[in-house]
Each structure stands twice: as structure tokens, then as C-alpha cells.
A and B are shown apart, each in its own frame.
Chain A
Amino acid sequence: MKSATSLRTLLAVVPATVLIAGCASPQATYVDSSGPRTITTVGNINIQDYANAADTMVNSLIEGVINSGKLESVGGQPAMLAISRIANNTSQHVDTDLLVKKIRVALNRTGKVQTTTTIGLGGQAEDPLAQGIKQQTEFLQDKKNTRLPDYSLSGKIIEQRERAGDVRQSSFIFQLSLTSKDGIAVWEDEKTITKQGKRSTVGF
């Protein structure tokens, strides 16, 4: 009798265990994108590296240009910023908006700077629809009311790799310049992020 009960218990427990263990997929968890538990790799620019570089640049821009009263605009309006070329000189395919958008949003929230989406490098607008509406409005009102950007933001992301024995090192250098409409770089800064790892943890 006792052995029959044990067998029934076993028959109930085993499928349940198999169900739980066998159907469990590799565990995925959410992590805070701005937290300290995101993955860090030596060979790539990680999400926290963009945020770190953008944070440094925004701090520098606020301190060096906005707080010091050097930001100039027409009639007390927020200064208009156009985004120029942000060159990617790394070995990776990088969307530079991972850096630039954060800076734009942060500057926009200061209330001192606004970014144009209808004036772009080589005449290509970031928002072609907005550019079309603007052109149609100007045509219907029979006047050109084009405000030109007060500043343009340009820059470069550079990669430098080193190796010593099993240790690999990657440096990513973020360089940005803010140029006035007079063609003078009124602000420039550089942020270098360096990471090291052993061969087994490195993807290059």
C-alpha cells in the first residue's frame, strides 16, 4: 500500500518537474539601461558608453557655453542648432544618434537651445515632411522667413585598439565641436572611454 502511494507521488512529481525544468527557456531579465548592471564588452561601444560620453558633453556645453553666457541667439529666442556630420571612424557600424540624440534632448530641455529638423547636411532634412510644410507655408505666404541656425554641431568617433599579451584594450574617443554661424568653433570637447579585458572576453 505504502509503495503504491509512493509510486503515485513519484508519477505526479516527475512530470511536474519535467514540465517546469524542461519548458524553462533561458532566463531573460530586464535591467536598468542607465544602471550599473548592463553588459560591458571591450570591443564595442556599449549603451552606457554613449550615455557617459553624452553626459560629459552636455555638462561641458552647459558649463562652458550656457552658464558662462556665451550662447548667442536672435531676439532672445533659444539658439537654433543644426546637426552637421558626426563621422564614425570606428570599425563598427554605429548609429551616431545614440550619442547625438541624447545631447539634443538634454540641450532642448535646458530651454536655451532648439534643434532644427528641416536644415540638414547637403540639403537633406531630418524630417522631410516638416521641410515640405515649411516650404509650402513660405510659398503660400509669399515670403521667405527662413531663420538660419545659430550653431552647428559636428564631431567624430575614433577607435584605438591596443594589445599586450592576453590583455586587449579599446579606447573610443568622442570629439565634438560647436561652430557659430561666423565659422568659429566656440566650444569643443573630447571624451575618451577606455576598456580592458583578457583575450577570452574580447571579441576581436
Chain B
Amino acid sequence: MKLSSCPPSCLLVGIATACLFTACTTVNTVERAAPVGQRQMVNDKRIITDAGLNRAVRIVGVNEVPGEFLKIQVELLNSTSSLKSFNYRFEWFDANGVLVHTPTSTYISRQIEGKESIFISAVSPVASAKDFRLKLIESTR
């Protein structure tokens, strides 16, 4: 049966059935209409190689908290209706663009519910770290 020949009721039943089997659960939220805190947003450059991951773990924005040790916070949104597991890792670079090695650097597993927005953050491991890169990858296990 072609999709165009399927009546709307059929489509709704199909979507509902799909949600039933894929356990669609989405998140409702409420917050202050005009937030008091103002985020200092960072102009970012994104390289998307996994479009599927980008739909489920979409980068909404990046903001920074200046200080001796730079803090970066990234807002992520799951634009799908199902739970998604992913891993992320922050990398830090000094003023010369050299990667700063840190013993605690690791991929961290997170889950994000359907339509949920979450924040992930990191503080630079050394004061000389001036730039960052966030890597996101789908859970492999």
C-alpha cells in the first residue's frame, strides 16, 4: 500500500502502533517565561557526520562562563520521540591550539528522553586552556 493512498486515520494508527513498540515517552517542561539569568552564548562551528544522531541529540546552543578556568555548557535537545543513548567528551586546547591531555578525559554515557532538553558542561582542566571541542557519538554498546 502506498503512503499516499493511506487515509489519515491509518497513519495515526500506524504512528501510535510504532510509538507503542518503540516506547515513545516525551518530556513536558515549564519554566520562567523571561529567565533572569542571561547566557553568554558562544559562536560555534558544527561538523555533522551522523545525521541520525544529530536528530536525536541536537546541539541547541553553547554558552561559556568566563573565569580563570573556562566553563562550557552545551544544551542538547532530542527532537525525536524516543529515548536515545549517546556518549560525549570534551577536549581542551591551549592558546597555541595544542590539545591539553588530562587523566580524567573520557567518553561519558548519557541518555536523553524524547523531546527532552539537557545540559552537559565541563570546566577546563588547566587555566591555559582557551578553546574546546565537544564530541558526540552514538552509544556503541
- Interfacial residues, chain A to chain B (CB-CB below 8 A): 34-37, 39-40, 48, 51-52, 54-55, 58-59, 62-63, 66-67, 101-103, 105-106, 109-111
Contacts and interface: CB of A to CB of B under 8 A. Distances in A.
Contact of A36 (B71, B121, B140): B140
Contacts of A55: 104-106, 108, 122
A34 B123 contact: no
Contacts of A58: 104, 123, 125
A76 B89 CA distance: 33
Contact of B127 (A59, A102, A105, A111): A111
Contacts of A54: 103-104
B25 interface: no
In the A-B complex, the 8 residue pairs with the smallest Cβ-Cβ separation, listed nearest first, are A51-B106, A55-B104, A34-B106, A36-B107, A36-B87, A54-B104, A105-B103, A102-B103
A34 B69 contact: no
A163 to B, nearest CB: 21
Given A36-B87, A48-B107, A54-B104, A67 B123 contact: yes
B140 A62 contact: no
Contacts of B123: 58-59, 62-63, 67
Contacts of B87: 36
A156 to B, nearest CB: 19
Interface residues of B, number: 25
Nearest to A107: B125
Looking at B87, B103, B124, which has the most chain A CB atoms within 10 Å of its CB? B103
B56 to A, nearest CB: 16
A34 B127 contact: no
A102 B71 contact: no
Interface in B57-113: 67-69, 71, 87, 89, 102-109
B141 interface: yes
B101 to A, nearest CB: 9
Contacts of A109: 102, 125-126
Given A34-B89, A109-B126, 13 more contacts: A39-B141, A51-B103, A51-B104, A51-B106, A54-B104, A55-B104, A58-B123, A62-B69, A66-B69, A106-B102, A106-B125, A109-B125, A110-B127
13 contacts: A34-B105, A34-B106, A36-B109, A36-B137, A36-B141, A55-B108, A62-B124, A62-B125, A67-B67, A102-B103, A102-B104, A105-B103, A111-B126
A55 B121 CA distance: 11
Contacts of B107: 34-36, 48
B71 A63 contact: yes
Nearest to A193: B109
B22 interface: no
Contacts of B104: 51, 54-55, 58, 102-103, 106
Contacts of A110: 69, 125-127
Contacts of A62: 69, 123-125
Contacts of B140: 36-37
